Amino acid sequence: MPRELEGTQPWTSSQSGITIGHVFGIKGRQIERLDFIVAGAQKSGTTALHYFLRKHPQIALPERQELHFFDDEEIFSRPVDYQLLHRHFRKPPVRLLPVRLGLAGEVTPSYLYWKPAMERIWNYNRQIKLVILLRNPIDRAFAHWNMQRFKDREPLDFLTALKEEPRRIAQPLTIESRRFAYVDRGFYSRQLERVFKFFPREQVHVVKFENFRDRKQETLDGIFKFLGVKSLPRVRDKDRNVVPYERTMTPEEQKYLSEVFSPEITKLEQMLGWDCSDWKGRGGSPEPPAGD
């Protein structure tokens, strides 16, 4: 197994005053660590999943989504203070009821892509469960670019941005490598290889975004079963984090990405045993009902 990161020790209950009673209404048991993380992928429905996780009475989430703890290079440039992570759980949501068992988790979709994150998570809790959502990488890239345009962070047209990407993300672990990795984030197989280097497959639940979008209740039931909590009764859905698209993808852009991702999609099918025929040769879908 991989060795510990130098200066990083798994967090123990003695490092925080947070107790299970604070989060779940149960006295006398201390939280030693988070139980699960939704680790990615960006623009693949993680905001929608966060919404449903918050509805579950046996699950506690931080006060805000995307803590960006395990992909924060400044935090890991020195001996790690896990109190910076757990302080976000100090005030439990009023809706949480006392239950016999409960879980604490967080949702930061960039962890899958950020190369050091998986080893950091493994050092923190080797028994943690990971939930990963994957979307057609063609659609994901376009949604990512569209989000950056909406936030006024991207001056380039989509096809130009794709061709300029290798130069823009050449410096690893920078803001540019995070913001403009439209294509690079879609090479899921090598990201999953990094996950499986540290975590056994039984601790990782990989979900196809399109199944989450089209068969939401069934997919949620599978996620809750994996986490070890009871299924959530049907909850009213709503739009979340839906960024308006300034336009649709052009045939030229779609062809470019189809050629880029064709070998990757085939490799992913072999790795996960999935049928991704719906991902091949298409892209540019409108705003996804499940949220980005």
d(CA 248, CA 72): 34
Instruction: Tell me which residues of the chain have a pLDDT lower than 50.
Output: 1-30, 91-100, 284-292
pLDDT at 102: 84
Task: Give the domain ranges of the chain.
Answer: 13-279
Token digits of residue 126: 């080797």
Buried-state track 145-184, b at ≥16 Cβ within 10 A, e below 16: bbbbbeeeebebebeebbeebeebbeeeeeeebbbbbbbb
d(CA 151, CA 266): 33
**In terms of Cα–Cα distance, which of 258, 276, 18 is closest to 162?**
258
SS3 content of the chain, % helix, strand, coil (to 5): 45, 10, 50
274 contact partners, CB below 8 Å, separation of at least 6: 208, 268
Q: What angle do CA 132, 138, 144 make, to 5 degrees?
A: 70
122 contact partners, CB below 8 Å, separation of at least 6: 2, 198, 199
Token digits of residue 45: 């429905």
pLDDT at 289: 39
The pTM of this model reads 0.84
pLDDT at 220: 96
pLDDT at 255: 96
User: What three-state secondary structure class fits 272?
Assistant: helix
What is the side-by-side strand order in the sheet with 36-40? 59-60, 103-107, 36-40, 129-134, 204-208
Residue 25, strand partner residues: none
User: What three-state secondary structure class fits 221?
Assistant: helix
Asked if the 13-279 domain carries CATH number 3.40.50.300, the reply is yes
